[in-house]
Structure 1
């Protein structure tokens, strides 16, 4: 059985405990990060789309940092977008602020109809530093 070593970003434990999931789990040299949305400290969404995307990346980066990683350690990305036909270009204009340089991680983008009041969610898998997995 794989042991789950949970990673909590600073100041967000209550949100994850209330919603009953782990923000990230270390296992077998990898970091599996739950989907991150553009939520403020109280869990409410940033109302404006570009601010929401930036906040999602800030929340993601807080988890990566707590695990000893950066976005450069990310190898796989999944993004979920409500109404991607009208929002994709706006969202993707923010991504370079956080994405880093090539080679880029793999990406799967999925259009969805509902994200609990949010318009964008990002979920990643990263390689933990010092591991050859």
Structure 2
């Protein structure tokens, strides 16, 4: 018996059914979260730099909660940025969501994200559930 479970929060079924990836996969106490971007429940790009970063974090939070995890369970965070000049704003927003038990973090510059123009951030994470 496998302890591998696809995590598909309500509103994210499209990515599993049509794009063929899980928003997250839980294996035992570890949750591997796919890159979350700044799109809303209708799969539409959120406009504005701050709003898009906030939406990406909200999507990350939604996926983690569906897996039984919380933001403080994140042990590894990888972020992809189309404009590294937004990093200071990103860090201010990140600090709203990650307030303790800080994870390891890697920030990477990228030419494009989300498979369409306009996406500026993608957030990938690994969380370990606390017993």
Q: TM-score, normalised by structure 2?
A: 0.90
Q: CA deviation at 1:60?
A: 0.6
Once superposed, what is the RMSD of the aligned Cα atoms? 1.6
Question: Which residue number corresponds to residue 126 of structure 2?
Answer: 125
Q: CA deviation at 1:2?
A: 5.8
Q: CA deviation at 1:16?
A: 3.1
Question: Which residue number corresponds to residue 74 of structure 2?
Answer: 74
CA distance in 2 between partners of 1:26 and 1:77 (Å): 16
SS at the partner of 2:97?
helix
Whether 1:94 and 2:65 are equivalent positions in the alignment is no
SS at the partner of 1:100?
coil
SS at the partner of 2:86?
helix
Q: CA deviation at 1:97?
A: 1.1
CA distance in 2 between partners of 1:100 and 1:92 (Å): 12
CA distance in 1 between partners of 2:29 and 2:67 (Å): 11
Q: CA deviation at 1:4?
A: 2.8
1:31-110 to structure 2, matched below 5 A, reads 31-84=31-84, 86-101=85-100, 103-110=101-108
SS at the partner of 2:77?
strand
- Runs of 4 or more, structure 1, over 4 Å off, are none
Question: Which residue number corresponds to residue 10 of structure 1?
Answer: 10
Q: CA deviation at 1:124?
A: 0.4
Q: What is the number of equivalent residue pairs in this alignment?
A: 128
1:108-131 CA distance string (max 9 Å, x none) = 11000000331001000001243x
Q: Is residue 7–residue 23 contact of structure 2 (8 Å, CA) maintained in 1? A: yes
SS at the partner of 1:125?
strand
Whether 1:112 and 2:113 are equivalent positions in the alignment is no
